[in-house]
Structure 1
Amino acid sequence: MSNAPVHNIDVPAFAADPYADLTTIREGTGAAFVPQLNATLFCRRETIHREEKRVDLFSSRQPEGLMVKLMGENMLRKDGEEHASDRKITFPSYSPRTVRDHWSERFRAKTQEALDALAPQGGCCLVRDFAMRVCGEALRDVTGLYDLSWQEVDATSQAMIDGVANYHGDPALESKALAAVARINQAVERQLDDLPEYSLLKVQLDSGMDVGPAAGNIRLAISGGQNEPRDAIAGAVWALLTHPEQLQMIRDGQATWKDAFEEFNRWQSPVGMVPRGVTRDEEVEGVQLSKGDRVFFMYSAANRDPRVFDAPVVFDITRNNSPSLAFGAGPHFCAGAAVSRELVSQVALPMLFERFPNIRLEGDVRFHGWAFRGPVEVKVRW
């Protein structure tokens, strides 16, 4: 068992705002064992950047982990050649070239439809009425699962995300996650006779992959490919509207929408952590780990590490975000990063602000989550 210093948390308070606890751990010994999560949390950026790549020690393969138990095997829970093979097979669907030449115009068309529907309303909740729809429609295209509505894409994604972050064992969350998995499996079966070009389902089956593993990677794509860009869209709008001078910099051409997207992802870290299983006894950063221990690499803490980022709690779109771990590091760097960057920074944000140049916030905004974090609602008027 890990001999890291023990740090107790209040789970609901940690979900509401994890940063005070994470700062205490990071600025103390850098790592701590949290009994409520049964895991050792590593919180310093350089440690995580280095150790996450050591998959021989910190394995992604966790057959007893929540993701595998609820969602089945997928490329995120593989290492080495198995992981590399799945990435190579799925790459034609996610590649920057495919995103540019095939997906981008589809993203724009669906986003335009969403904006046209919202315009007469004079306001909306950006999370529910805009970001959910834009991301859900994009995932229908990328995965090829047109049997799912965009509302179902969001609902199944959220159910699976809640399930894999259910370290406190809520049976209702587990049940919802399993129902979401079943619904996606049903959609895969219904799509087999009509495989859309460049879709994740098509490129996998064309490679010779069996339906079961292909469906596992689609479930992974939906679980991560919906909530993260959804939260980044709504959250980045909130960040810019609460920092109007930085919004003006973008409008004046002194910064870009991509700058805002990358800075929001660093600042709020929609993906707050990645779990790993320890494969052997070893000491890391003064912490003695034992085979079978569970480790969480806390991206959210790393992305606010003052050893790397000046004034890290400040939202600043002019900063250099190349050290950010928002999309991970090493062999498990987010496979869908190009899709997310295009959808959020080149489509959703610029089109929203162009359509509604006088958009303004209405009411307070509350964030929630520590493993996955985003705004609960962002109400706006125009």
Structure 2
Amino acid sequence: MSDAPVYEIDLRAFWEDPYPDLKAMRAKVPIAYVPQLGATLITQRDAIFDNEKKVEVFSSDQPDGLMTVLMGQNMMRKDGAAHTAERRAIFPSVSPRTVRDVWKVQFQRAMRGILERVAPLGRADMVADIARPVSGEALKAITGLTNMHWQEMDRVSQGMIDGCANYAGDKKVAAQCHDCTASIDRYIDARMPELARVPDLSMLSVMMQAELPKKDIRANIKLAISGGQNEPRDAIAGAVWAVLAHPEQLALVRHGNATWLQVFEEYARWMSPIGMSPRRVARRYETGGVTFEPEDRVFLMFGSGNRDETVFARPDVFDVTQDCGPAISFGAGPHFCAGAWASRCLIAEVALPMLFERLPGLRLAGETRFGGWAFRGPVSVPIAW
């Protein structure tokens, strides 16, 4: 175990709002061992940015990690040549050109259909009625699992997210995660014969064309679902809440003084839908006055780095004019999120502008509650128009 100073947390309070504890850690113990999580947390932005690239020390290869055990060893849990080969295999599906020329029109079609359905109702829940289905429909297209309903896409994504954050070892959570991964395998198996006959640019198809082993294909589809559903879902719903709760920020967009991309990037910095990435220490190493030992578990706390007072002028404030350049919302180094271009397109170019154009007088219509620290987002966002 590392010799980092110990910092105790209340797990429930940390799930409700991790930012007070993260702020205290940055100030007092920027590298701290948290016994409730069984991990050493790195909380300062620059330390995260620098150390994430040192894969020879902070390895993504975690044979006993929750993600590997529950979902298989995907490219996010590999380093070096193995990671590069699989990332290269999926690139045709998630490249900026493919997102622009293939997926954007499908995102628009899905969002248009959802808005046509909810518009006459005059009120909805932003998470359940809009963000979940549009994220699910987008992910169906990109992954190639068009035989899966968006509700199942959302269910299996949440089940895997809960499983990967199940550091308390809840057996029911683990069982639910196994049920979700088995469901994904069945949908993959059902789609593969058709994609072998008629290939396309979906992730499943391009990995088949690259002749990746089936176990790697399955693991990477699960990876795409685990992050590709919840992050856009939470960012769409959360960004809507953010601008409605901060009308001066929405006014900047309406008057042409800010863009929806700025809204998305500032929200992703401020609330960090993906708040943490785990690593395994591969060899003895010293940094920041702390010595790490082989097999230590380390959490790179993106959500903390994105609110680092030494980097951002107004770290705890949602301000679309703030410089988000140093943010690490999508990670850094070789494991920078491969779905970043798709997320920006879906959220900033499609979902947010279409929503505010189609639903005039959009306003908050109830209490919004956030939850999570490894993955963070609104549980519910009641809206009316």
d(CA) in 2 for partners of 1:246 and 1:289?
43
Output the amino acid matched with 1:257. W
Length-normalised TM-score, structure 2: 0.98
Q: 1:299 corresponds to which residue?
A: 302
User: Alignment partner of 2:374: what SS?
Assistant: coil
Shift of 1:360: 0.5
Query: Is 1:129 equivalent to 2:129 in the alignment?
Result: yes
- Which TM-score applies when normalising by structure 1? 0.99
| 2:243 is aligned with 1:221 | no
Partner of 1:44 in structure 2?
Answer: 44
Report the CA distance between 1:348 and its aligned residue.
Answer: 0.3
Task: Tell me the SS of whatever aligns to 1:192.
Answer: helix
- Between the aligned partners of 1:169 and 1:215, the Cα distance in structure 2 is 24
| 1:1-382 to 2 correspondences below 5 Å | 1-195=1-195, 197-382=200-385
The 2-side partners of 1:29 and 1:165 are apart by 23
Q: Secondary structure at the match of 1:296?
A: strand
Letter in 2 for 1:43: T
Alignment coverage as a number of residue pairs: 382
Q: Is the 8 A contact 2:72 2:215 kept in 1?
A: no
Cα distance in 2 between the residues matched to 1:213 and 1:373? 27
Residue 29 of structure 1 deviates from its aligned partner by 2.7
Could you tell me how far 1:252 is from its partner in structure 2?
1.0
Measure how far apart 1:212 and its partner are: 1.9
Percentage identity across paired residues of the two chains? 52
Equivalent-residue separation in structure 2 for 1:21 and 1:319 (angstroms)? 23
Distance 2:244 2:161 in 1: 28
SS at match of 1:175: helix
SS at 2:258 equivalent: coil
Secondary structure (helix, strand or coil) at the match of 2:299 reads strand
Q: Indicate the SS of the match to 1:280.
A: coil
One-letter amino acid of the structure 2 residue matched with residue 197 of structure 1:
D
Offset from partner CA, 1:188-209 (integer Å, 9 cap, x none): 0000122251000100000111
Q: Compute the displacement of 1:281 (Å).
A: 1.2
**SS of residue paired to 1:193:** helix
Distance in 2 (CA, whole Å) between partners of 1:331 and 1:360 is: 40
How far does the alpha carbon of each residue in 1:76-106 deviate from its partner, in whole angstroms, 9 at most, with x for none? Answer: 0000010011111100000000000000001
Partner amino acid for 2:291?
Answer: Q
- 3-state secondary structure, aligned to 2:132: helix
Matched residue type, 2:227:
G
**Residues of 1 paired with 2:384 and 2:141: CA distance?**
29
Shift of 1:308: 0.3
SS at match of 1:194: helix
Moved over 4 A (4+): none
Deviation at 1:211, TM superposition (A): 2.1
- Cα distance, 1:139 vs structure 2: 0.5
Q: CA RMSD in A?
A: 0.7
How far 1:357 moved relative to its partner?
2.3
Q: Distance in 2 between matches of 1:126 and 1:172?
A: 28
Q: Distance in 2 between matches of 1:239 and 1:228?
A: 16
Structure 1 portions without partners, runs of 5+: none
Q: Please tell me the residue identity of whatever aligns with 1:215.
A: R
Aligned mates of 1:348, 1:194 — CA distance in 2: 30
